[in-house]
Amino acid sequence: MKCGDVYLHICDHLDEDINSERCRQIRQHLAGCPHCTEYLKSLKQTITLYRALPPPRIPAGTHRELFKTISTLTTKAAAGTPKRGRKTRKA
């Protein structure tokens, strides 16, 4: 496993079984790579600091608008409507 693989997969698999093949590969890589070990240490510190903060307070109107937007986008995506800002290529 290369450093780039560790960077890509370390966050994606935080909830993965600690004994999975990918987790074993990551641990093996970390054992011999000081750069990735520092990356993991920094990631853990960031998570710790984030958890120490109080949850953000979102005004009710903003919360409703956010979920309205998410619902609209999800509905459009499910219907196959092209996303805003994306152009389709002609064949």
Record the pTM: 0.50
Q: What is the pLDDT of residue 68?
A: 92
Q: What is the pLDDT of residue 81?
A: 53
Domain definitions of the chain by residue range = 1-81
Q: What is the pLDDT of residue 45?
A: 92
Summarised one tens digit per residue, pLDDT across range 41-90 is 998 899 899 999 998 888 889 989 999 999 998 888 777 655 555 555 55
Q: What is the pLDDT of residue 12?
A: 64
Task: Check pLDDT > 50 for residue 29.
Answer: yes
Q: What is the pLDDT of residue 27?
A: 86
CA distance between the termini of the chain: 39
Q: What is the pLDDT of residue 82?
A: 56
| Per-residue H/E/C for the chain | CCHHHHHHHCCCCCCCCCCCHHHHHHHHHHHHCHHHHHHHHHHHHHHHHHHHCCCCCCCHHHHHHHHHHHHHHHHHHHHCCCCCCCCCCCC
